[in-house]
Structures are given as structure tokens and as C-alpha cells.
A and B are shown apart, each in its own frame.
Chain A
Amino acid sequence: MAHHVTRREFVKRGGGLLVGFSLIDGSVAPRLLASTPRDSQAAEDPSAPPDSPSRLDAWLRVDPDGLVHVFTGKVEIGMGVETAFAQIIAEELDVPVSHVRFVMGDTAQTPDQGGVGGSTSVSNGAKPLRNVAASARAMLLQAAAPQLGADPAQLEVRDGIIINPAHPATRVSYGAVAGRADLHEILQVTGAGFSLNVEGAGTPKDPSTYRVVGTSVPRVDIAPKVLGTFRYVTDVRVPGMLHGRVIRPPATGAHLVRVNDEPARRIQGYVRTVVKHDFVGVLADTEWGAIKASQAVDLTWSEPAANLPSHDSLYTWMRQATPKASRQTLPHGPSTSAGAGDVESALSLASSRVEASYEFPFQSHATMGPGCAVADVREGQATIWSGAQKPHALRKGIAELIDMPIEHVRIVWVEDSGSYGRPGFEDAAADAVLLSQAAGRPVRVQWMRADMTAWGAKGPAVVCDLAAALDEHREVTAVRFTSRAFSGGEILYQPSTGDNFLAARLTGVPNTSSVDEFVSWGGQTPAYAFPNVQSIAHVVASLYDGPSPLRTSHLRDPEGPAASFAVESFIDEVAAASGVDPIALRLKWIKEPRAQAVLQAAAEKAGWQSRPSPAGHARNSAGDVLKGRGVALGTRNGTYVGTIAEVDVNRRTGALRVTRFVCAHDCGLIVNPGALTRTIQANLVQSLSRAVHEEVAFDDRTVTSVDWRTYPIARMADVPPTVDIVLINHPELPPGGAGEPSSRPTAAAIANAVFDATGVRMRRAPLTAARVKAALA
């Protein structure tokens, strides 16, 4: 099994000059072993615990050959954050991007930065890295100064070489001085998790001088992936490893009555079946043996009463359910307007009203790789290789799950397929842990497709009811927003509790760590400054309290696409009712200049003609295909997105085709425009998929969306021929989040375009051909 060595032991054995917290097993991070002995004094320094983020060398070290190793609790989930970080480090240190190497998310070597979530990796997570690099630079210059006969302030750095500009021949490399630099300087630590920050002696550069940040450096991970040399977590192989498969109950509430593994025993390589309450897994020497055994083992389950409402009645059920929790924002409005703050009377006094309800279904993470983990739980120690995007939280959760001191649990993060929140990679890790614990051997669990699509965590279903009051000039005087949603925190999105995991629920552990997450106006939606606004948010209890395939958690931008679908469709309805252009109405009521700017930039790129919707083709056109255009705005923690969709709607079949997207995007300072453009394009396609195709189906017993046939997503034919991205750069602002915001406006932009084309309003997502056809009939 992986041997745990303290940092100090490692150093004594001739470890690196500047090392992360502790060791590392060579198979995972062999490059770390390549460093030369360091002066052991520094390592013995008792003033700071070796794993303290207050130590510079906990974050960064420089090899004698000039390679810069950076240790971060953030991880790559497929959007290029490793490259953005490399650019930021390279910028501060003046080293080539190719000299920066990362250890990400290994809990034995990296500080707890909360992992990945909320599009914060660059906006928050890069801050300590930038400061650490600036401080390392300051320390290295200080160490080089006597030798170069100059003040540190006079020295320059080019490609990792420190130069005295007065005597350009006088130079020394970072690698050569690194041994003399005091890189275990004490940093000042503030915050924790996502907001963990450190500051030291160095001052980061003025962004106006950036040369690497802001350029389209190729992503460091793409070439190795395309060349087939990249290792995902699915490729981790540990000596003596068994293959595991898990078997889920056939219905919510079904309990295991009898296990007969006799048929499995005939399968080559079969080792055993592990049963713990309703958790069942099989183990075999080979992966195929495990798959066959999981099909062969004869399980008898109880037949519980139907526990779920029928899929058809979901939204009725949500509206009728007594909310589990509610939150109201006080009605507010500028004190000068008549009736300010009184939404009810504004609505009752209105000369006309617009009222509409919108529905957004459960959606599945349905990750490309269904989830995989390797666990080695033996002799009071646990090592887990997992692609879960919050490794430090996972460490806490696993420790609690198996009641092991947290110091004995180590998560080695290794990239899995694209992860957009809390997909279930966490649950696969817990499965592997329980199976390894039972077997006393390392176990690799690879989820099958149905484990992920049907049993992975779900994005919550959301219904929103909106009402607007219009005065006699058809001006909006008040808006009321009411949401009802399952909580995106029903399974805590931090897998930091033992009850978080599906395996825990199946072994009978109740879920006590869920949190209520509210869907509110201005929270997951733009905050239009109408004279009176009231936002009422209800959380409804989960459909089934036991282990359920409809457990909800974070899926890319929790509730953002659902709530923005409602509000941005509604704004369009108000514009249509007022007879004004939908961009003009938004520009009037959204006050943030950057939100206005993305709408204007998108309009300009799209050649938007100012006019109200609908276009009126439905009456005038003889053909089957109607064309329309729609717009929507997305705002999220200081990032602004304006999306325009152009669609063709076939009024005979209901099929809709997005022919063009224009997306104007402002996330502050842009670190890598090329990578950002690709991430936005991909987010547009993924959110199109969610808008048009994706809906988790279920019957009254369980989820029936189990694979790519029963949970269809966008394919090549859905991809718009034209996707125009307009990037708005703000070098004077800090870099903001870019992973999620562009998933917000897409569904409404498409639905608004359908309205523009047909005059028919689609208020239920996804906008499948059958639904559009029915609406047009």
C-alpha cells in the first residue's frame, strides 16, 4: 500500500530543495522525486507546521534545473484552469509557461483551497498562487543580489535567468540560487477554502505590464490527451488491485432480502460479493469478471410501495407540496416611486398584468466517463485516487464514513472526465472505499453507465411563477418572483460529511448534512431594477428521503440555467406585452454598465434589428420552417453574458434548430482568450443540450433515464453552424469566473427565439420537438 512519510522524513532521505507537505508515491508524481537534497535546517524549522499554508514552500518550489513546482488544492476539470494558473505563475516569476508544473488536489501535498466550485478557481484560487509566485520572485532576487552586485530592485528576470541590467553578462538562474533562497518564508494567511489567501514579501505585477497573462497559450493538457499519453483516474492501476462493480436497488425503498452468489462463483476471477445493508458490490480479479459477476449474482429485493410521484405530475406535486423552507426578500423599490415596496397593491392596481410559470426538470450530470476511483484501505490507512473536484472535502467525508482519523486518509486527485459540480465521482470513491475495506485489498470501482446517468446526483427541478404589473403606458411598476425547487444542497455539494455518499445512504446512514438552497431573483438571475420587486423562494423536500436516484446537488451553475430560463423568458414576455424590443427593455432596466455592454456587443455582432417580438412569420410564411431570434442575459458574481440565438422551427414537426449563437462575454481580465473561447463555445453547446433535450425520466419507483438513449443529449446535428463569441476584456479588473456563467442565458435565448419565430411561448424545458409541435398545434 502507499506508504505515508512525513515531509520531514522525506527531506531527510534526500528529498527536494523545496517540497510540498509530505510524500507522495512515485507512481503518481514521479517528477517530485527528481529533486536534489536540500539543507535540512529549513525543513526542521519548528516555527511552522510542515503542512501549513503559511509556508511559501508549501505552495512552490524551484528545482535546480529551473522547473517551478506549484502545489494547489484546485484541480483541472476540463476547462483549462491548470494552463491559466501556469500563465499566472509564469507571469509573476518571468519563467516560460512550460517550466511550471503542478501538483493538484493531492491532500498530502496541497493546501485546502476548497477544491473547484462556483467558477471561483481563477477569480479566488489564483490569488494565493499569484502572491506566492511574487513572493518567491522577491526571495530569489534577494538571494541573487549579492552575487550580482546589485540591489534586488535593480535586477531583471528573463526566462528564469536573473540579470543585472548594468552588467548584462552578470546573471544567474533561479535554479542556481533556489538553494540559497529562503522559500519557507512565513506568509500571512487569511480566509479558508475557496477564499484562502496568502500574502508575502513580494508585490504582484501591475496587470498593465502583463505579457503572458492575456495570451492564448495552448492548454498544457490538450496535447498529451490527444497523443494518448495523458493518464486519467481510470488509468490508475495499483498492484494487487481488484475490480469492483456496485449493484443498486431496483426501486427507491427496496431493501435487500437475500443474496445468492452461487451463479457468480462460476465466473472466472470472481472473488466475492460484499453486502452491507442495502449496499452491494462484487469483486473480481478482472474488470470483465466483475461485470459478469454483477450480472450473475442473484439478489432478492423487497417490493416497496410506489415512493415517487409520477413524472407527469412532478410540477403539480412541487406546487402543492408544503415548502420545507422559504425565504422572502422584502419588497423593495426606490422610495420616490408611487407605492414603492408594495408589490401586492401594485399588482392589484395595475392596468394590465403579465403572469407566467416556467418549469425546468431534473437533469443528470451524465458525465462522459461514468465515474471511477481506486481505494486502498488497509492497516488503518486509506488512500483514494479520485477525480472528485473537491478533494480536501472528500478526505473529510471519507474519514467520517469509515470512522478513521483524517490524518490517515489521503485523496490523490487524478483527473476524471469533465466534472460540473458534484456528479457522483465522490460516490464512486465511497463505493471503492467500502469494497477495499471489506476485501483488505486495493479496489478499483468503475461505475457503469446507469450508475452515473440514473444514480449520479441530479440538478434539481425548479418551477418559477412570475407576475408583472404594467401601468397605462405599459411600463413595468412591479414584479413578483416565486420559486419552488428541490435543494441544490440536498446532498451537500461539499462531500465533507460521511452521510453525503450514496453508499452511506444504502448502508442505512440518514442524511443530516443537507442544506437548503434558495432560487431567488438577482441570485441566479439578473437583477432588473424595476420599481418594486419581490422574491419568494421555497425549497421543497426531496421526493424520497432514503437512498434515491433523484438526490439533488450541484450541476453546472446550480439552478442558474433553470432560474434564468424563467426570468429571461419572462422579461421577453413583458417586452412583447409592452410592444418593445427585448434588448431595449433590458437595457432600460438593468443598471450595471457591464451587463448593458454585453447586450449591446451581442446585438452588434448579430446585426440585431430593433423591433418587438414576434416577427410575424407565423402568419405570413407559407413554408414549414419559421425563423426567429431571441436574446437573454446572464449575470453571475461579476461575470456578464449576453447570448443571442437564431433558430429555425419546423412547424410541422416541431423540430427546432439553433442556426447561430452570438455570445458576448465579460469576465473581467481575460487570462487566456483562446481557451476561454473554447470553454464558452462548449458551454453553449452543453446548455443548448440541457435546453432542448435533457430531462431525467422516472416512474413511480425509480429513474428510467439510464443511458444515452433514455437520456439523450446534444449531438453533432444539434451544433449551430455559426457560433460567434465576443470577448470583452477588462485588464483593469480582476479575472472573474468563466466556467458557468454562459450556461445561464442559453435556454431562454432559444425559447425567446422560438416565440419570435412562431408567436408561441415555450415555458417548460426541455424544448423537445414533441413539446414544440404540441404547442404549435
Chain B
Amino acid sequence: MSRFSLTVNGQSHTVDADPDCPLLYVLRDTLALNNPRFGCGLGQCGACTVIVDHHAVRSCRIPVSSAAGRPIGTLDGLGTPEHPHPIQQAFIDEQAFQCGYCLNGWVMTAKALLDGNPHPSEEEIRRAFQGLICRCGSHVGILAAVRRASGHQA
């Protein structure tokens, strides 16, 4: 066990954890943040995506030790019910999901994409999302939401 200081959504926390423990379990179990979500634990689906240093990363694959001291953003910190982030609003407006279990990955990846490239082309959008899984097949709604969030005609 070691002690780490994590800055999550602008708040700092001190946690005791096994240095090898993936960030995902610290966020979920120690800090009780329900987003990210566990989907595979293998870096294959994206359900656990968080933003570290402006990059979308898979929290099931990075040890807590390497996330310590870097700014970590999660869906819980993106917007509030009163003030949803524009990307969240776009996903809500498009009613993009079926079960929504995957949505953490899509919304956080969209955030990282649009922060770096506010007006991506259709090709760029598809490429940015190629590594994500949605078992329900909500992709058509997801594409519409990302287009909407990037100012394309919905």
C-alpha cells in the first residue's frame, strides 16, 4: 500500500492504494465515482475512459501510481444537471443511447476529440471512436450527437 494524491475534477484526494491498482478501481471503489464504468478491464472497450492531461485514457489500464499528481477528469465532473456540458446536452438532445452503460466512453472521448479539434470531419469522428464498443448498437445516435456537438447540422 502506498499513499497517492489524486486531483479529480479539480478536487484533491489522498488515497491509500496498491501502486499497481488500476486507476478505475480507485475512482470507483475508493472515491465512489460511478463514472468511469467497468466494461472489460482490458483496454478494449472504453467504458472506463477518463481524461488525464487532456487525453482520453482507459482507467482500467493505467496504474494509480502513474495518474497521481496529474489532472484527472471524469464524466461526473463534466457538467451538472443544471448546467450540462454542451457535449452532454448534444447527447441528450439526440437521445443517443439505448442502455447507456457505454456512454462514459463515448462522451469522454468526444470531449477529448472536440477539445483538440472542435470541427472534426465525419472521417475524423469515426476514427476517433473506432476503439470504443457499444453493444446495443447506438452508433447512429452517437454520431448524430457528436456532429451536433461539433456544430454540424444535426
A residues contacting B by CB (< 8 A) are 77-80, 218-219, 221-232, 234-235, 237, 243, 268, 286-288, 291-292, 366-370, 415-419, 446, 448-449, 674-675, 678-679, 681-689, 707-709, 713-717, 719, 721, 723
- A-B contacts, 28 of them at CB < 8 A, read A78-B97, A78-B136, A222-B92, A226-B92, A227-B80, A287-B28, A291-B25, A292-B18, A368-B133, A369-B37, A369-B39, A417-B101, A449-B41, A449-B42, A681-B137, A682-B98, A682-B139, A682-B140, A685-B139, A687-B137, A688-B137, A709-B44, A713-B135, A715-B131, A715-B133, A716-B139, A719-B143, A723-B140
The verdict on A685 contacting B42 (CB below 8 Å), with A231-B34, A288-B25 known, is no
Decide if B44 touches A707 in the complex (CB within 8 Å).
Answer: yes
**How far, in Å, is B1 (CB) from chain A's closest CB?**
6
Render B22-41 as a binary contact track against A, CB cut-off 8 A, 1 for contact: 10010011001011011111
Q: Indicate if B150 sits at the interface (CB-CB under 8 A).
A: no
Bound CA–CA A419/B88 (angstroms): 24
Decide if A716 touches B130 in the complex (CB within 8 Å).
Answer: yes
Q: Indicate if B112 sits at the interface (CB-CB under 8 A).
A: no
**How far, in Å, is A24 (CB) from chain B's closest CB?**
22
Residues B101-134 near A (CB distance < 8 A): 101-104, 107, 122, 126-127, 129-134
**Chain B residue, CB-CB nearest to A365:** B135
Cβ 8 A contact of A682, one of B34, B80, B81, B141: B141
The verdict on A227 contacting B129 (CB below 8 Å), with A219-B95, A221-B100 known, is no
Chain B residues with Cβ under 8 A from A287's Cβ? 25, 28-29
Bound CA–CA A370/B97 (angstroms): 18
Q: Indicate if B75 sits at the interface (CB-CB under 8 A).
A: yes
Bound CA–CA A291/B75 (angstroms): 25
Q: Indicate if B65 sits at the interface (CB-CB under 8 A).
A: no
Cβ 8 A contact of A229, one of B22, B42, B81, B98: B81
Q: Indicate if B78 sits at the interface (CB-CB under 8 A).
A: yes
Chain B residues with Cβ under 8 A from A268's Cβ? 1, 18
**How far, in Å, is B3 (CB) from chain A's closest CB?**
14
B residues contacting A by CB (< 8 A) are 1, 17-18, 21-22, 25, 28-29, 32, 34-35, 37-42, 44-45, 47, 74-76, 78-81, 84, 88, 91-92, 95-104, 107, 122, 126-127, 129-141, 143
Bound CA–CA A228/B100 (angstroms): 10
Chain A residues with Cβ under 8 A from B129's Cβ? 715-716
Decide if A223 touches B25 in the complex (CB within 8 Å).
Answer: no
Decide if A288 touches B22 in the complex (CB within 8 Å).
Answer: yes
Chain A residues with Cβ under 8 A from B37's Cβ? 232, 234, 369
**How far, in Å, is B141 (CB) from chain A's closest CB?**
5
Decide if B103 touches A225 in the complex (CB within 8 Å).
Answer: yes
Decide if A218 touches B47 in the complex (CB within 8 Å).
Answer: no
Decide if B92 touches A218 in the complex (CB within 8 Å).
Answer: yes
**How far, in Å, is A448 (CB) from chain B's closest CB?**
6
Bound CA–CA A290/B22 (angstroms): 13
**How far, in Å, is A121 (CB) from chain B's closest CB?**
14
Bound CA–CA A349/B32 (angstroms): 72
Decide if B136 touches A707 in the complex (CB within 8 Å).
Answer: no
Bound CA–CA A713/B28 (angstroms): 27
**Chain A residue, CB-CB nearest to B129:** A716
Chain A residues with Cβ under 8 A from B136's Cβ? 78, 368, 418, 682, 686
Bound CA–CA A715/B122 (angstroms): 15
Chain A residues with Cβ under 8 A from B131's Cβ? 715
Chain B residues with Cβ under 8 A from A449's Cβ? 39-42, 44
The verdict on A708 contacting B88 (CB below 8 Å), with A229-B81, A717-B126, A719-B139 known, is no
The verdict on A678 contacting B35 (CB below 8 Å), with A222-B97, A719-B143 known, is no
Decide if A675 touches B130 in the complex (CB within 8 Å).
Answer: no
Chain B residues with Cβ under 8 A from A689's Cβ? 137
Cβ 8 A contact of A448, one of B41, B75, B140: B41
Bound CA–CA A286/B30 (angstroms): 9
Chain B residues with Cβ under 8 A from A221's Cβ? 100
The verdict on A678 contacting B95 (CB below 8 Å), with A78-B100, A226-B107, A715-B130 known, is yes
Chain B residues with Cβ under 8 A from A679's Cβ? 98
Bound CA–CA A694/B152 (angstroms): 33
Chain A residues with Cβ under 8 A from B34's Cβ? 228, 231-232, 234-235
The verdict on A227 contacting B88 (CB below 8 Å), with A222-B97, A681-B140, A709-B44 known, is yes
Bound CA–CA A682/B143 (angstroms): 12
**Chain B residue, CB-CB nearest to A725:** B140
**How far, in Å, is A229 (CB) from chain B's closest CB?**
6
Decide if A685 touches B137 in the complex (CB within 8 Å).
Answer: yes
**Chain A residue, CB-CB nearest to B134:** A368
Bound CA–CA A419/B99 (angstroms): 8
Decide if B130 touches A370 in the complex (CB within 8 Å).
Answer: no
Chain A residues with Cβ under 8 A from B44's Cβ? 449, 707-709
**How far, in Å, is B90 (CB) from chain A's closest CB?**
9
**How far, in Å, is A116 (CB) from chain B's closest CB?**
12
Taking A223-B81, A237-B32, A418-B136 as given, write out 13 further A-B residue pairs in contact, using a Cβ cutoff of 8 Å, ordered by the A residue number.
Answer: A77-B99, A78-B100, A80-B98, A230-B100, A234-B34, A268-B18, A288-B17, A291-B25, A415-B99, A683-B137, A686-B135, A707-B44, A708-B42
Chain A residues with Cβ under 8 A from B92's Cβ? 218, 222-223, 226-227
**How far, in Å, is B39 (CB) from chain A's closest CB?**
6
Cβ 8 A contact of A288, one of B29, B88, B103, B143: B29
Decide if B18 touches A288 in the complex (CB within 8 Å).
Answer: yes
Chain B residues with Cβ under 8 A from A446's Cβ? 38
Closest 6 CB pairs of A and B: A78-B99, A685-B137, A417-B101, A418-B99, A225-B100, A686-B137
From A221, A232, A449, A678, name the one whose CB has the most chain B CB atoms within 10 angstroms: A678
Chain B residues with Cβ under 8 A from A418's Cβ? 98-99, 101, 135-136
Decide if A682 touches B100 in the complex (CB within 8 Å).
Answer: no
Cβ 8 A contact of A234, one of B38, B95, B143: B38
**Chain B residue, CB-CB nearest to A225:** B100
The verdict on A228 contacting B78 (CB below 8 Å), with A682-B140, A707-B40, A715-B130 known, is yes
Decide if A227 touches B84 in the complex (CB within 8 Å).
Answer: yes
The verdict on A716 contacting B140 (CB below 8 Å), with A229-B81, A235-B34, A707-B42 known, is no
Decide if B141 touches A678 in the complex (CB within 8 Å).
Answer: yes
Decide if A226 touches B100 in the complex (CB within 8 Å).
Answer: yes
**How far, in Å, is A678 (CB) from chain B's closest CB?**
5
The verdict on A714 contacting B137 (CB below 8 Å), with A228-B75, A368-B39 known, is yes
The verdict on A288 contacting B42 (CB below 8 Å), with A227-B79, A417-B135 known, is no
Chain B residues with Cβ under 8 A from A419's Cβ? 99
The verdict on A218 contacting B95 (CB below 8 Å), with A228-B75, A368-B136, A682-B141 known, is yes
From A79, A218, A418, A689, name the one whose CB has the most chain B CB atoms within 10 angstroms: A418
Chain B residues with Cβ under 8 A from A674's Cβ? 95
Bound CA–CA A77/B97 (angstroms): 12
Chain A residues with Cβ under 8 A from B107's Cβ? 226
**Chain B residue, CB-CB nearest to A269:** B18
Bound CA–CA A226/B35 (angstroms): 10
Bound CA–CA A719/B97 (angstroms): 15
**How far, in Å, is B78 (CB) from chain A's closest CB?**
7
Bound CA–CA A638/B88 (angstroms): 37
Chain B residues with Cβ under 8 A from A79's Cβ? 98
Decide if B126 touches A286 in the complex (CB within 8 Å).
Answer: no
Chain B residues with Cβ under 8 A from A291's Cβ? 25, 41
Bound CA–CA A234/B21 (angstroms): 19
Decide if B81 touches A369 in the complex (CB within 8 Å).
Answer: no
Chain A residues with Cβ under 8 A from B139's Cβ? 682, 685, 714, 716, 719
